[in-house]
Amino acid sequence: MFDSIDQANAAAARLEENRTEIDRTIAAQIDWLTHHGPAADDPFIGAIYHWLEHYLYVVGKRFHGLTVILSYRAAGRTDVDAVLPVAAALQLYHHHTLVHDDIYDGDVMRRGLPTSHVHLASLFESETAGACDPRPFASHGARSGVIAAFAYGKICRALANRAVSATTLDGARVLKILMMLEEHDLWDNVGQLLDVYHEGSRLPSSEACLQNVWLKTGRLFEVCARAGAVAAGADASITNALVSWAGNLAVAYQLKDDLEDTVGNSEKGLGRGIGVDLVALKPTYLLSLANELADAQDRATLSAWLNREQDYSVDEFSALIDRTGARRVTQLKVEELISAGVSTVGSLGTVGPDVLAEVTELSRYAISDEYWHRPLASGRSTAVDTEASGE
């Protein structure tokens, strides 16, 4: 995969530098919002704005922003500062989708912190009634928290547009990127609708589940790659290769997320809870594949669970999936997607070795235990830390 360990380490170091630059750009947008956003001097609105600062401290790896930057550089551009606002914008856009997704799923934690609707509920009531109940309207405060979180997500979405508009890129390219984000809103919401519709007894085929993974996750990564290519003025062949890589990377990442659902010490288990997707009967590729591969007895058991006719535990569900071989097949699919994506970029023959090494490293890291089993305490200083220390 790499010519040497030194090349791999250098690629990882450059990606880390870009992460820091993305965070610094996001911090500038947050600073503008907290000082100059509408009604910023109102204590309640100010608290909503300041909640966005938590995003800089969570241990996300800025995959969306990095995809923008790598696509820009793969197209031959080296002036990364010009595309940083776009990279920051795609991170903010992704954050807004997660805020809303947590509401839809009733999640109470993300990466070990309260989800936005849970945290913002604390601004409305001090009583604890319903505070730990994942149902959005479990109490008056919970209802208010959901409303505040939806609005907060829309603020992040608007801030993403503002970030794109702040770039020094040609106006026509800026407009094209903004239009891509507007169009993606349609696809993202369709993906969410299908996701909730297919929970439980309406579990679709594994191929249909893959298509919905693309709608909810893959297509946004493709928008990131296309945005970087548009910013660089790339031709169609380069753009298509980068979009293919990003889409494969995203689907592989989501399938790995499904595999980690029952792993207690993983990004998923520590950050959101063990078995959250299985408990909710989410229509994942892993679950659908297990249903297709199961013998008659296990399929009957699955049917009873999916129709909520019989109680089950996460351990029972996980053991059944293991028996079908679906976990092993899904892992092979993850590796296949990553390999195909990197090969597509490499086959262009025009991407510099340093950039190709970073594409390879980002792809490897996204599905590695190094990422999925890392501690959820931030080990990276942020732009806010740097400013506070005077560095």
Nearest to 115 by CA among 54, 40, 34: 54
How far apart are alpha carbons 180 and 223 in whole angstroms? 7
Taking only Cα atoms into account, the Rg of the chain, rounded to an integer number of angstroms, comes to: 21
How far apart are alpha carbons 297 and 303 in whole angstroms? 10
Residue 257: both structure tokens together: 């997320």
Is 214 in contact with 247 (CB distance < 8 Å)?
yes
Range with lowest mean pLDDT among 11-15, 52-56, 164-168, 263-267: 263-267
pTM: 0.91
Please state, as a whole number, how many other Cβ atoms lie within 10 Å of the Cβ of residue 44: 11
What's the N-to-C CA distance of the chain in angstroms? 36
Give me the pLDDT at residue 12, please. 93
DSSP letter for each residue of 121-190? HTTT----TTTT--STTSSHHHHHHHHHHHHHHHHHHHHHHHHHHTS-S-HHHHHHHHHHHHHHHHHHHH
How far apart are alpha carbons 36 and 46 in whole angstroms? 10
Which residues contact residue 160 at a Cβ distance below 8 angstroms, ignoring those fewer than 6 apart?
89, 90, 92, 93, 96, 181
Task: Give tens-digit pLDDT for 92-123.
Answer: 999 999 999 999 888 888 877 889 999 999 88
3 state DSSP class of 53: helix
Q: Is 277 left (phi over 0), alpha (psi -120 to 50) or beta?
A: alpha
How far apart are alpha carbons 244 and 218 in whole angstroms? 10
How far apart are alpha carbons 333 and 190 in whole angstroms? 25
CA-CA distances (angstroms) from residue 309 to 197, 211, 281, 301? 18, 28, 13, 10
249/4: higher pLDDT: 249
How far apart are alpha carbons 59 and 111 in whole angstroms? 7
Question: What is the rounded average pLDDT of the residues 224-230?
Answer: 98
Task: Give tens-digit pLDDT for 163-187.
Answer: 999 999 999 999 999 999 999 999 9
Tokens 């659908």 -> residue: 288
Question: What is the rounded average pLDDT of the residues 350-378?
Answer: 90
How far apart are alpha carbons 102 and 272 in whole angstroms? 10
Give me the pLDDT at residue 276, please. 83
Give me the pLDDT at residue 382, please. 40
Q: Quote the mean pLDDT of the chain.
A: 90
Give me the pLDDT at residue 383, please. 42
3 state DSSP class of 114: strand
Question: What is the rounded average pLDDT of the residues 230-247?
Answer: 98
Task: Give tens-digit pLDDT for 183-203.
Answer: 999 999 999 999 999 998 899
Amino acid letter at 271?
G
Amino acid letter at 176?
K
Share of the chain above pLDDT 90, in %: 75
